[in-house]
Structure 1
Amino acid sequence: MTSPGASLAPPELDRLPKSVVFAVSAGHGGMSILINLLSILLVFFYLPPDSSGLPQLVTDAKFLVVLNAIVIIAAAGRLLDAVTDPAIALFSDRSTHKRGRRIPLMRLGALPAGLAVFLMFLPPVKEVSALNIVWLLGIQVVLFIALTAYVTPAFAIVADLGRTPEERLDLTTWTSVAWAVGIVIASLTPFITALFENSGVSTIASYQWAVGIVVSISVLMMYVPVFMVDEPRYARSKPTTATLRQSLRVVMENSFFRYYVAADFAYFCGLAMIQTGILYYITVLVELEEELTAPLLGIMVVMALFLYPIVNRQAKKRSAKQMVIFAFVMTSVMFFGIFFLGRYPVPAIAQAVAVVVIFAVPFSILSVIPGWILSDIAEHSIMTRGEATTGMFFGARTFAQKIGQTVGVVIFALLLNFGRDIGDDLGVRLSGFGGMALYALAAIIFTRYDEGKLRSEMAAAGH
């Protein structure tokens, strides 16, 4: 066991070279493409509105009154995550591989994750069929194991590479920039689909070609850090000797982490509702073409890119806690406005642009600050407990994140039972109230996070 307060940083370098920052960021951009592609498109692909031109591929029959097939499939995957997330996090923390604790796992996970995402859009039957449900369940197993093998180490390596709070903030900012770019690339899928449709390809085949192109880009990006980052040279790679039970105890007994992860759960739950709902908001509520998804998200990301440097500077001067709470409250208000989309006395395109412009502000904050906060929580734990369980902190966060995303998809899919088509859109509109409540809850929970205590203890220890 490492002694409390011991430094695990390689002594020979003061700052990370830009090439390492670029490589790690590229990997985050690649995994962002995969995750956001599923969030944006999967429900729309299997339970499309009538105006989409896509065939319905799974039954929308209700089980236990409100549960549909997509809800049950999504929930089933989380049972697997309950085992794989802590197991992979511990394996990473304990690894003695010569290339480090994180990079070898990322190398193993990237290609299978990309292939699994692609296969999820290749249903064996191009109409409603129970076989499509079995297919999704089976591919989901491969996807969750492979994606966890990449995502958990990819987040943990950010904390391993950063030696100071400022360095961790800067690295988190750049990975957030890459994550935002990944969202834009994922949102290009409907636009690429339209290009294939215009050349005479069927709608479903056009989506599959588009998904294949986007997934290929994501996998290439995910392998950039695998080949460019010399982890033993730049990162704190001293393995932990803690068992699974000891590592989980370190994480779950951490009061800073408990409030952090509870708020983070609500945040990702609401974010999944936005991502799952965006095609419905565009095509059903404001009745625009689905190809506008990419330009609209592009506007949001361009604004966020301009805001990231401001967020970075303000985080070094202001309370990170207060910035996060402000972002939660602002997003809650934005969700309230979604209920009324298509009913405002302004052009539909203006309504859609207003939503993405407003969301760009909290998005720029929430895609940078929470990751930085968790890096500091993990660093504080190393300082006070003497055990390098960074991977377990990020594994626990990844698990909560995926549970939150699943709950968000489940809530949205449940609400679609109340209407998902033009003129019958109550379910889509109700998602606005659901998101409003989730982000308000996140803001309330995060008021309990004791930022002052964590900062003062780290400063006293010279961190």
Structure 2
Amino acid sequence: MSTEAAPAEATVLRAGPDQPSLFTRLAYGVGAVANGVKDNGLAYFLLLFYSQVIGVDSRLVSLALTLALVIDAFIDPVIGYWSDNLHSRWGRRHPFMYAAAAPVAIAYFLIWNPPVGWSEAHLFVYLLGTLIAIRVCFSLYEIPANSLAPELTSDYDGRSSLQAFRSYFGWTGGNAMSVFMFGVLFPLFVTKAIPNGQFNPKAYGVYGAIAAGLIFIAILATSAGTHSRIPHLKAPPPKRKIGVIGIFREIFETLSNRSFIALFTASVFGSIASGLSASMAFLLYTYFWKFTSQQASLITSGVFLSAVIGAVLAPIISKTIGKKKGAIIIGLIAFLGSPLPIALRLSGVLPAVGSDFNFWLVFWTTVFDVGLIICYQVLSGAMMADLVEQAEVRTGRRSEGVFFAASAFIGKVVNGAGIIIAGLILATAGLAKGADPASVPEATVLKMGMLYAPTIVTLWMIMLGVMSTYSITRDGHEANLRLLAERKSRELDATLQD
């Protein structure tokens, strides 16, 4: 079982009725627009809006973000288990998805339209409350929606295709809102009193209304678009009485899986690396490369092309060399290539800072590296989906929600670690807050690059090393499907005999 080649009998299985149509894959994917818009707004604009525009202490804003994230993280496993065991005429997942649409949209609108004239303490409570509402209500949608992937198809490559659609819409939707903010809204709200639209609170109020509408539409679109598949989805286990201890015992039993532990641990280092990369991106553009805001905006726009590259490449990699091998190879190329321009500048082989060559080198490196990173994320997400059948063989339970909730949990808990590391790098390099790029000493800039590049590469290499212990291949997945089919056949025969 060391090869990734598909046996003949696997082809028959993959041609089964559970292969979703193009419409279903599009409907499933478009729901990730909600993820992209929400994540983009909270990550890039919320701190700026509340601290610089509204006037709340940035430490209080960061505290509110952290508290909401931690509270949500510990609720995720409960939501996952609940959605795995829900009995309803609309199946296990869709009731949560439909129910979350309006509350998420309302909370997202409210967070960008805070009350006027409130004290800082009251605004902090308001921010914390709306953040918790957004996080928890969105988890009610996101975890069941992610859990749909292994239910919509058991096909090894079909799952990569589903994840590719979802990843494309998520990256594109989130990035589109950033471009819209900088290219349309902020310029639109420039006034004599407020010459920079980024500091006009009305811009964020309009953004909140548009973003909330997109989130609402995206959630309903994916819920309604996959509704016809409900009769073909997996049924919940029979109703039973089980206490809190029993629930957590089952969750622990489900997650006690070597391949899951490999993905779980890899995601720890991956989440830290992602937080570090996101925190340092615009700082590196500004100080290390001395790019203008227009150049930084153009690099951001390049992510639209990256999303296409990642979404198209992932299913091809899955079919040709398999998910695990493909994720490791693609990851090595992407994660070693990403800091390459920094290493070249530190080595003194690039032209002087500010040259067009440096900009286009970083632009195209970023486009292709982000595309490869998206491909990696698609493959690793599909690998998570393949754990479901392996766990079902061992425990007799379908636990999609538990797996995806645990994955979300670790991403939220360690999300801030990358930001902390970024702060340490800046402090060690000696970069002052609000420093003018033209006045920062060259030694400080070079030290920032020398600290960042090896740190990010080390985190990524540890992540890939841990992922190498994941053991489910194409053959192993097909074997699990056969075992489950045989078990179901025996259970049916026993029922008929009774």
Q: TM (normalized to structure 1)? A: 0.82
Pair 1:337–1:313, CA change in 2 (3 A): closer
Distance in 2 between residues matched to 1:414 and 1:460, nearest whole Å? 51
Which of 176, 184, 187 is the matching residue for 1:195? 187
Counterparts of 2:66 and 2:118 in 1: how far apart (Å)? 23
Judged with a 3 Å threshold, the aligned counterparts in structure 2 of structure 1 residues 324 and 41 are, in CA distance, closer, same or farther, namely: farther
Match of 1:223 among 209, 215, 220: 220
Task: Output the CA distance in 2 between the equivalents of 1:399 and 1:309.
Answer: 28
State the Cα deviation string for residues 351-392 of structure 1 (Å, max 9, x = none): 541442242342232231011101101122123321011111
Distance change >3 Å, CA 37–CA 286, structure 1 → 2: farther
Change (3 A) 1:173 1:111: same
* Contact 1:156–1:391 (8 Å) recurs in 2: yes
Residues 334 and 436 in structure 1, CA contact (< 8 A), matched pair in contact too: no
Cα RMSD between the aligned structures?
Answer: 3.5
Whole-Å Cα distance in 1 between the matches of residues 111 and 23 of structure 2? 34
Task: Note the 1:58-77 alignment, pairs <5 A.
Answer: 58-59=56-57, 68-77=59-68
CA 1:22–1:335 in structure 2 vs 1: closer, same or farther (change >3 Å)?
A: closer
Instruction: Find the counterpart in structure 1 of residue 465 from structure 2.
Output: 444
| Residue of structure 2 equivalent to 1:237 | 235
Q: Which runs of 5+ in 2 are unaligned?
A: 1-12, 486-498
Q: Within 2, Cα distance between the matches of 1:338 and 1:193?
A: 33
Tell me the residue number matched to 1:326: 329
Cα deviation for residue 90 of structure 1 reads 1.3
- Are residue 212 (structure 1) and residue 204 (structure 2) matched? no
Distance in 2 separating the partners of 1:335 and 1:204: 35
Distance verdict in 2 for CA 1:19–1:336, change over 3 Å: closer
For the structure 1 residues 204 and 314, does the alpha-carbon distance in structure 2 shift closer, same or farther, using more than 3 Å as the test?
same
SS for the counterpart of 2:302 is: helix
User: Residues 390-416 of structure 1, C-alpha deviation per residue, up to 9 Å, x if partnerless?
Assistant: 111111111112223333344445656
Counterpart amino acid of residue 78 in structure 2? A
Per-residue CA distance 1:430-461 (angstroms, 9 max, x = gap): 55554333212212221222234844743763
AA of the residue aligned to 2:214: I
User: Alignment partner for residue 93 of structure 1, among 84, 88, 103?
Assistant: 84
In the alignment, is residue 273 of structure 1 matched against residue 265 of structure 2?
no
Work out whether 1:381 is the aligned partner of 2:365.
Answer: no
Distance in structure 1 (CA, Å) of the matches to 2:16 and 2:56: 57
Gaps of 5+ in 1: 1-8, 48-53, 61-67
Shift of 1:259: 0.8
Cα distance change, pair 46–444 in 1 and its aligned pair in 2 (3 A): farther
1:370 aligns with 380
> What secondary structure does 1:98 align onto?
coil
Instruction: Report the secondary structure of 1:439's partner residue.
Output: helix
For the residues of structure 1 that align with 2:111 and 2:309, how far apart are their CA atoms?
35
For 2:344 and 2:44, the matched residues in 1 are separated by 19
Contact 1:33 1:186 in 2 (8 A): yes
| Equivalent residue in structure 1 for 2:25, among 10, 21, 40 | 21
In the aligned structure 1, how far is the partner of 2:48 from the partner of 2:457?
22
Matched, 1:458 2:458: no
| Distance in 2 between residues matched to 1:98 and 1:460, nearest whole Å | 29
* Deviation larger for 156-165 or 270-279: 270-279
Q: Is the 8 A contact 1:280 1:420 kept in 2?
A: no
Bigger helix fraction: 2
The 3-state SS of whatever aligns with 1:223 is helix
Name the structure 1 match of 2:6: none
User: 8 Å contact 2:31–2:221 — kept in the other structure?
Assistant: yes
Partner of 2:495: none
Which amino acid is the alignment partner of residue 156 of structure 1?
A: S
Instruction: Tell me the SS of whatever aligns to 1:97.
Output: coil
Distance 1:304 1:227, change over 3 A: closer
CA distance in 2 between counterparts of 1:21 and 1:414 reads 42
Counterparts of 1:414 and 1:134, CA distance in 2: 29
Specify which of 33, 36, 43 is matched with residue 32 of structure 1: 36
Counterparts of 2:117 and 2:282 in 1: how far apart (Å)? Answer: 21
Q: What's 1:79 paired with?
A: 70
User: How many Å separate the matches in 2 of 1:384 and 1:341?
Assistant: 50
In the superposition, the TM-score normalised over structure 2's length comes to 0.77
Q: Secondary structure at the match of 2:89?
A: coil
1:99 partner SS: coil
1:79-133 CA-partner distances (Å, limit 9, x unpaired): 3134310111111111112111111111122332233334334455799945443
Task: Give the letter for the 2:316 counterpart.
Answer: R
For 1:301, the equivalent position in structure 2 comes to 304
- 1:56/1:127 contact within 8 Å kept: no
Secondary structure at 2:414 match in 1: helix
Cα distance in 1 for partners of 2:453, 2:111 equals 28
Q: 1:366 to 1:211 in 2, by over 3 A?
A: farther
Q: State whether residues 280 and 428 of structure 1, in contact with CA within 8 Å, keep that contact through their aligned partners in structure 2.
A: no
2:267 and 2:463 in contact (8 A); partners too: yes
Closer, same or farther: CA 209–378 of 1 in aligned 2, 3 Å:
same
* Paired letter, 1:269: I
- Point out the structure with max Rg over C-alpha: 2
Which of 310, 313, 318 is matched with 1:310 structurally? 313
**Partner SS, residue 258 of structure 1:** helix
* C-alpha separation in 2, matches of 1:120 and 1:419: 31
1:149-191 CA-partner distances (Å, limit 9, x unpaired): 1110110011111132122222122112212222322322222
Name the amino acid aligned to 2:363.
V
Shift of 1:56: 7.7
Tell me how far apart the structure 1 counterparts of residues 465 and 248 of structure 2 sit (CA, whole Å).
30
Secondary structure at the aligned position of 2:20 is classed as coil
Asked if 1:403 corresponds to 2:413, the answer is: yes
| Structure 2 contact 335–369 (Cα < 8 Å) conserved | no
CA distance in 2, matches of 1:410, 1:70: 16
**CA distance in structure 1 between the aligned counterparts of 2:466 and 2:160, rounded to whole angstroms:** 23
